[in-house]
Amino acid sequence: MSARTYQVRTYGCQMNVHDSERLAGMLEDAGYVAVPAGGSADVVVFNTCAVRENADNKLYGNLSHLAHAKSTNPDLQIAVGGCLAQKDRGEIVRRAPWVDVVFGTHNIGSLPVLLDRARHNRRAEVEILEALEVFPSTLPARRDSAHSGWVSISVGCNNTCTFCIVPSLRGKERDRRPGDVLAEVSALVAEGVLEVTLLGQNVNSYGVEFGDRYAFGKLLRACGAIEGLERVRFTSPHPKDFTDDVIAAMAETPNVCHQLHMPLQSGSDRLLREMRRSYRSERYLSIIDKVRAAMPDAAITTDIIVGFPGETDADFEETLRVVRESRFAGAYTFQYSKRPGTPAATMPDQVPREVVRERYDRLVELQDGIAWELNKEQVGRTVEVVVATGEGRKDADTHRLSGRARDNRLVHFAPGDREIRPGDVVEAVVTYAAPHHLVADGPVIAHRRTRAGDNAAAGLRPKTTGVGLGLPGFGAPPPVAAVQGGCAVS
């Protein structure tokens, strides 16, 4: 009897992407195999997001597409997990009775057992826990990339931003012990991974659970001592918790990238109060000034919400002012949408959609102009690029490959006659700049073949078994996750 196949479809933020790696790892440990490209899976798992207003429409639309497949193949199993499952619970089965399993954000480790139980009992299994029982990083993971990996340092959030539903779905912040984090990073590096991103809803509040407000800066420095780890990133910090020791750790630790993604959300102090963002615009700008004083080459990006309830023309002009002064290398800009269950959803003075759209267009035009100016400053400079996994050739005419510079800028480069694999490292000179990417069409100056490149060429990805649960090993690549949308949660 052949093994049952699976596919995980992912929506939302980096935390969901990392959770999907855990889901894939658990399914493979339970004997499932990734469905081949273009094939029909025996198990389809939706890992959902509830941050955007139309998240439920996306889910139920996708579920409806599988209703016919389920009716013709009763052995097909459909599972729904993640933030929307935590929110909607049994409502999912009521609206889509062909769903077999519903599980929440606190019990992703239950998926294989719930699938077995649903298949045995021939009925839907719904299991939603109210609090985390097992830290997700103790679960096995099938990583998406041969050269980079997410490493969760905390889950949950202690903030109460009025636009955000994440704390009610992910729970209060829970921090991993530093030794467990460093053990996972070391295990990934031992398998050839070059780059890790430390992940949390609010990374620079890390340590609150064990009483060390300087724990995050110490963790960055400790990552600098791991031999073979070339790049360290983190996302996302909260301005209210940003301390000078973190800036010093970034500047003084060679493998910590000079790149910072720090959500602004609004430049209006009045709206920041309404959002329950416990900093003001001058505090935000002062952090940027300190970062640039310590690291003049730092690329800083942000999240901004346009059209928060009650936003006036004056409030929006304040946002434009802060954007001009901050000179962001990039920004994720969002038109405000109601998140059911958040205080902002019921606030008065909801801004008309046409006003939001007009402001949004103005903000994008301003930010794109700033990003383009900053990118033009890169022309003529040599950049080090880690070739991206999964992006391959950009187009048939130029045969360009794509990757990320140390400051996380996207770079498209011409490989020439060199055999360059995903995971390899190249150096190239920037010849052209666009608002959202750089181009290096000249000859590649240097090319370093890496273990990550060897593994990518062989179709291998790191499969970690979780801290304390065994040693890491390699296996076949997972199904491609369809990541859609994003969220501004810090």
Q: Where are the alpha helices (DSSP H) in 142-226?
A: 166-170, 178-190, 215-223
Residues 155 and 291 in one domain: yes
Core vs surface per residue 293-314: b (16+ CB within 10 A) or e: eebeebbbbbbbbbbbbbbeee
Asked if residue 128 and residue 144 are part of one domain, the reply reads: no
Quickly count: other Cβ atoms within 10 Å of residue 46's Cβ: 24
Give the domain CATH number at 107.
3.40.50.12160
Q: Which residues, at least 6 apart from 488, have a Cβ–Cβ distance to it below 8 Å?
A: 164, 263, 265, 303, 304, 305, 332, 334
The sign of the CA dihedral 484, 12, 54, 64 is positive
Write a three-state SS string for 430-474: CCEECCCCEEECCCCCEEECCHHHHHHHCCCEEEECCCCCCCCEE
* Rounded-to-integer distance, Cα 432 and Cα 381, Å: 11
Rounded to whole angstroms, the Cα distance separating 462 from 140 reads 11
Tell me whether residue 488 is in a domain: no
Tokens describing residue 28? 């493979």
For residue 154, what is the domain's CATH number?
3.80.30.20
Looking at the structure, tell me whether residues 197 and 326 fall in a common domain: yes
- 86 and 126 share one domain: yes
Please report the pLDDT score of residue 50 as a whole number.
78
The pLDDT tens digits for 376-421 are: 999 999 999 999 975 545 566 678 999 999 999 999 999 988 999 9
The total number of residues shown for the chain amounts to 490
Burial 82-93 (b: 16+ CB within 10 A, else e): bbbbbbbeeebb
Where does 200-287 show beta strands of DSSP type E?
Answer: 231-235, 259-261
Is the separation of the CB atoms in 81 and 127 below 8 Å?
A: no
What is residue 200's DSSP assignment?
-
In a domain, 125, yes or no: yes
Q: How far apart are CA 205 and CA 153, in angstroms?
A: 10
**Inside any domain, residue 418:** yes
Q: Quick one: residue 466, left, alpha or beta (phi over 0 = left, psi -120 to 50 = alpha)? A: left
Q: What type of residue sits at position 357?
A: R
Residue 480 lies in a domain: no
221 and 93 both lie in a single domain: no
Residues 152 and 69 in one domain: no
Q: Write down the residue that tokens 């060199």 correspond to.
A: 418
* Domain finish residue from 93, 115, 133: 133
212 and 360 both lie in a single domain: yes
Integer Cα distance of 324 and 327 in angstroms: 6
Q: The pTM is what?
A: 0.87
* pLDDT by position in tens, the chain (length 490): 689 999 999 887 778 888 899 999 999 999 999 998 888 999 999 999 877 666 777 888 889 999 999 999 999 999 999 988 998 888 999 999 999 999 998 889 999 999 999 999 999 999 998 877 777 777 888 888 999 999 999 988 999 999 988 888 888 899 999 999 999 999 999 999 999 999 998 999 999 889 999 999 999 999 999 999 999 999 999 999 999 999 999 999 999 999 999 999 999 999 999 999 999 999 999 999 999 999 999 999 999 999 999 999 999 999 999 999 999 999 999 999 888 789 999 999 999 999 999 999 999 999 999 999 999 999 999 999 999 975 545 566 678 999 999 999 999 999 988 999 999 999 999 999 999 999 999 999 999 999 999 999 988 877 766 654 333 333 443 333 333 334 444 5
For the chain, what is the domain count? 3
- Give the span between the Cα atoms of 96 and 63, in whole angstroms: 7
Specify whether the CB–CB gap between 408 and 383 falls below 8 A: no
Show the beta-strand stretches assigned E in 313-381: 330-335
pLDDT at 122: 92
Residue 431 is assigned to a structural domain of this protein? yes
394 and 324 in a common domain: no
CB atoms within 10 A of CB 230: 20
Among 114, 133, 152, give the residue marking a domain's end: 133
Concatenating the DSSP letter of every residue in 386-399 gives: EEPTTT-BS-TTT-
Tell me which of 87, 108, 133 is where a domain ends: 133
In a domain, 482, yes or no: no
Residues 47 and 88 in one domain: yes
Residues 164 and 302 in one domain: yes
